[in-house]
Chains A and B, each alone.
Chain A
Amino acid sequence: MNWPDAFLAALRSLDRRAGRAALTVLAVALAAALLSALLIVSTAARTRVLDQLAKGGPLAGIQVAAAAPGPQALDADTPRPGRPRDIDADAVRRIRALRSVRSVVTLESNPVLAVAPSAAIQPFQDTLAGLDLRRVRTLPITVIVGRSPTPDSLTEVAVTEGYLRRVGLTRATAAKAVGTEVEIGAPRSFPSSRDRIDVRGRWTRAEIVGVVAQQAIDAQFLGSRAMVRAARAWTAQSDPDSGFELPSSRYAGLFVVADGLDRVGSARASITRLGYSTSSPENLIETVRRYLRVVEIVLAGIGLIALAIAALGITNALLAAVRERRREIGVLKAIGARDRDVRRIFLIEAGITGLIGGLVGTVAGYGIARILGAVVNQYLVDQGLPGVGIGLPALVVVGGVLGSAMLAVLAGITPAQRAARLPARQAMGDA
């Protein structure tokens, strides 16, 4: 008997005891739904938690400060940096060339004076940071509302939570800042009398297009690289005798992505050897990952127990079917079925039950996870936090469907074996 024939025979016998088969499928589906929902939710939570630790950047991200390494440079995730040390183009080139480094994003900055739209708020001093905004996704910068500025714009900025506080807004009301304008002035000192510095600004009217949470650089305004370079060019022409303090470093900092989480350590060590202070949440991420793994194992265990119970249900249903069909199995043998044909029919029956149950269950599990995700997101958004993305990990789909089918086939082994071993004499009816 070939596989298609056996498959057909199995389908037909499932079809015959459709009611019981449906119940068995339902049990498998419930278990698979539980397992997949748990795994999907925990995967989403894991992504979210780790994302939070990395502040939206890559897990293998390392920040390099324009400073020499401090005394405990490599012992802590965020060590106290040493004295200032300039990052020039040569340093960037050398860090980029490191084996354990995948990519480097340079951060530039310039001091600015800012005037908020409301007259009630005093003009204030802060920093404008600029970077290649095309690569903003690879940095620990999370857009809370709005968007990040377009990569070459000279008139768009994103602001940080520090700015929000200054203008009396919170994360929850951050949207109010989007679309407002802020005037940003790059300072430049001119020669003047001895007892005072004459500073004039190069003013730009910029639209706030988004609010970001970021750890990449200490600045309240985030703009394009062109924008910050124009500001630097202006400020750089300041009167050298005026005593006006200007950042001497070409780059305010770097954001380095190591070649995988396990190479963060060696990348940091190399950068430290080159003479720069680094920080990264590597230890924190590692620790949290370990805890998350434990949680996942526990959740998967609960799901697997459910699946095991469902598998016992399959065994039970098939054993009953074998008992009821003793004579039919005998007849099958009388007309020429080999033991392995009989076994195959029952195993396929079990497999189909598991496959359908797994499929239905995984889809249902995804649905449940989506509903849970929507509820959680509603809460998170109310709290002014970014929502959770509920994905359908390929592993869950493959595992849920194939895993259920395989477990079902395992559950079918005993009944299939029992059926295969029934004496052919049963065909004649019970003597």
Chain B
Amino acid sequence: MAGVPISVRDVSMRYSTRGGAVEVLADFDLAVDAGERLAIMGPSGAGKTTLLALIGGLEAIQRGSIVVGGTDLAHLHGDALAAYRYQTVGFVFQHFGLLGNLSARENIELAMSFGGRSSRDRRARAQLLLDAVGIAHRADHRPAELSGGESQRVALARALANEPRLLLADEPTGNLDGETAERVLELLDRTAADSGATLLTVTHDPAVARRFDRIIQLEPRVIAS
């Protein structure tokens, strides 16, 4: 399945906190081609996570427009937004984001349970993904029993479960040591390439960033008002 193009136009994002308003993005523009693999860099607080949250439909757009594969996210609300996340986006988090009460297999199956997929179909696909990320031998372990690298492989399998056309990875190797990080990145690279999904990865590591088609740099612009 091919990836989606992304068009971010004039997006501004401002959080109001007790300490005052925080402007994270101001008139931000970004165009990503379908299937492009992009590294997002920038210091902490620059708004990298916020950008992913906006593109992934986790955060409401305040100003500007974000169009993903022809869908204007500003027009999506409630169930439609949930359906967008379910059908189009696969997330990989720095903290893995696995549900602690479910086994690796169940975590992957859960991600397929918000559409009309049969449980048999889910099971089969989960097995396929477990094999693909090389974690089948840990299928019935809970996250607490998995190493960081193993957890992130499971999380990647989960992100791929619904054949997303957009993969969003927020510092996917931030909690992993060098060698493990390298292998997870390879896997992310390969699976994204295999599926043709557009890939946006936030990273602090220039060596990591160099693997990608393009690198963009976000600068913090914190203006208290």
Q: List residues of chain A with CB under 8 Å of any chain B CB.
A: 1-2, 5, 9, 12-13, 15-16, 327-328, 330-341, 423-425, 427-429, 431
Contact = CB atoms under 8 A, between A and B. Distances in A.
Contacts of A333: 58, 82, 85
A331 B94 CA distance: 12
Contact of B101 (A1, A13, A335, A341): A13
A429 B57 CA distance: 15
Contact of B57 (A12, A13, A424): A424
Contact of A425 (B53, B78, B86, B100): B53
B95 interface: yes
Contacts of B58: 330, 333-334, 423-425, 427-428
A428 B83 contact: no
B91 A335 contact: yes
Nearest to B17: A431
A338 B101 contact: no
Contact of A337 (B82, B95, B98, B170): B82
A329 to B, nearest CB: 10
Nearest to A9: B110
A22 B97 CA distance: 26
B46 interface: no
Contact of A428 (B89, B158, B170): B170
B111 interface: yes
Contacts of A339: 78-79, 82
B12 interface: no
B52 A428 contact: yes
B95 A335 contact: no
Contact of B79 (A2, A13, A338, A425): A338
B102 interface: yes
Given A1-B114, A428-B53, A336 B97 contact: no
A9 B85 CA distance: 20
B101 A16 contact: yes
A335 B93 contact: no
Interface of A is mostly: helix
A338 B77 CA distance: 11
A340 B170 CA distance: 27
* Interface hub of A12, A330, A339, A341 (most chain B Cβ within 10 A): A12
Given A331-B93, A425-B58, A427-B58, A336 B85 contact: yes
A286 B87 CA distance: 67
A122 B35 CA distance: 117
- Most B CB within 10 A of own CB, among A15, A327, A338, A340: A338
Nearest to B83: A336
A334 B114 CA distance: 11
B111 A336 contact: yes
A424 B99 CA distance: 15
A197 B83 CA distance: 108
Nearest to B103: A12
B115 interface: yes
B82 A338 contact: yes
B110 A429 contact: no
A108 to B, nearest CB: 74
B86 to A, nearest CB: 3
Contact of A429 (B59, B85, B95, B101): B95
Given A334-B56, A335-B158, A336-B85, A427 B97 contact: yes
Contacts of B115: 336
A204 B83 CA distance: 93
B101 A12 contact: yes
A427 B91 contact: yes
Contacts of A429: 93-95
B151 interface: no
Given A427-B58, A428-B52, A428-B170, A336 B91 contact: no
A424 B54 CA distance: 11
B147 interface: no
A337 B59 contact: no
B99 A328 contact: yes
Given A1-B113, A5-B113, A12-B101, A335 B86 contact: yes
B191 interface: no
Interface string B42-86: 000000011011001111000000000000000000110011011
A274 B102 CA distance: 79
A38 B183 CA distance: 65
Given A331-B93, A424-B58, A427-B91, A338 B78 contact: yes
20 contacts: A9-B102, A13-B101, A327-B97, A330-B58, A331-B97, A334-B89, A335-B110, A335-B158, A336-B83, A337-B114, A338-B78, A338-B83, A338-B114, A339-B79, A423-B59, A424-B85, A427-B91, A428-B52, A428-B58, A431-B50
A37 to B, nearest CB: 35
Contact of A15 (B99, B101, B113): B101
A423 B15 CA distance: 14
Contact of A336 (B50, B99, B114): B114
Contact of B102 (A12, A341, A424): A12
